[in-house]
Amino acid sequence: MGIALSIAIPIIVVAAAIMLVAAARRRETMAAEGHLNRETRRRDRGRVAVDGEPVAGPTGREVERAAVVARQSAGTEVVEAVDASVEEWTPPHPEMVGVSRRQFLNRSTVAMMGFGLSGFGAACIAFLWPPFVTGFGADVNVGLVDDVKSRIKDENGFLYIPEGRAWVTEYPQAALQKAQNVYSAPELAGIESGLIALFQKCPHLGCRVPSCLTSQWFECPCHGSRYNQVGEKRGGPAPRGMDRFAMSVNSKGEFIIRTGTIIQGPPIGVNTTGQEPEGPSCLGGASH
């Protein structure tokens, strides 16, 4: 019994291996060519022509194999070769990319610095620019010289110009030669036209000096200083004659008071016109 088993087992193993190999070959053949039944294979092997010669055409196995190859070829997708050359990379334009955080911060910093410098520059220019002023401190156009003289007569000898804080009176042409020996060119520019512009502020302590129509002088009510019609001191505590402005006559013949330039009045004792009071003083019992 033991000897029989030792002989049978190797035989069974070898037989099983042969059957497995045979089955594998059969599956491969069927997968490649399809299954032909035995009758078909026998008829293929026995084909002969009418005249008894073997048929020269393909066998059924060859036809089947060609069909398998054709099916496989039909199922294969043919892909055309594409141009595989690498295109050179070109960086995009910065404006197409947008603004990065770094660019935003840099541009903001530059913009703020620009605004700051612009404001500082504008402030400097505004500080250095000549001030545009009107009225007192600027040139005051009183009008044509002849018209001004007419207005002075209409006002009984004294024309007040409020925007210039100035009195305008006539300067007698008979005294012009003496004036040329006393007064400066900016004063003579007006005096030679027959007019003079006097600052209303008393050179003593600064009161506004009114005109006195009776005496035809200026008489200060504060401390009694008195000045003749062209502002030369004739009495009182004032240290000098009335201050006056630089004057000019433009190309149109207009009298201009340059109130930005105040010239100190003439010293005590200057009396170019020799005008005496033409009537009672406006200060009561004060005398000159």
**Within 155-283, where are the H helices?**
176-182, 185-191
Q: How is residue 165 annotated by DSSP?
A: T
Q: Smallest distance, Å, CB 124 to ligand FES?
A: 41
Interface with ligand FES (CB under 6 A), residue from 161, 166, 238, 246: 238
Q: Rule CB under 6 A: choose which of 169, 193, 225, 271 binds ligand FES.
A: 225
Residue 20 binds ligand FES, judged by CB under 6 A: no
Q: At its nearest, how many Å lie between ligand FES and the CB of residue 263? A: 18
| Window contacting ligand FES (CB under 6 A); options: 87-95, 119-127, 144-152, 233-241 | 233-241
Task: For residues 50 and 277, give the distance between their C-alpha atoms in angstroms, rounded to a whole number.
Answer: 174
Burial group, residue 266, by CB count within 10 angstroms (0-12, 13-18, 19+)? buried
Helix/strand/coil (H/E/C) assignment for every residue in 20-89? HHHHHHHHHHHHHHCCCCHHHHHHHHCCECCCCCECCCCCHHHHHHHHHHHHHHHCCCCCCCCCCCCCCC
For the CB of residue 264, give the shortest distance to ligand FES in the complex, in Å: 15
When asked if residue 223 is in the footprint of ligand FES (CB under 6 A), the reply is: yes
DSSP state letter for 171: P
- Nearest residue (CB) to ligand FES, 198 versus 238: 238
How near is the Cβ of 203 to ligand FES at its closest, in Å? 8
Residue 145 as a binder of ligand FES (CB under 6 A): the answer is no
Cα(213)–Cα(27) distance, rounded to whole angstroms? Answer: 148
Residue 198 as a binder of ligand FES (CB under 6 A): the answer is no
Virtual torsion, Cα 204, 207, 208, 209, nearest 10 deg: -40
Smallest gap, in angstroms, from Cβ of residue 233 to ligand FES?
Answer: 10
For residue 44 the two structure tokens come to 């293929």
Task: Rule CB under 6 A: say whether 210 interacts with ligand FES.
Answer: no
Is 204 one of the binding residues for ligand FES (CB under 6 A)? yes
Footprint on this chain of ligand FES (rule: CB under 6 A): 202, 204-205, 207, 220, 222-225, 236-238
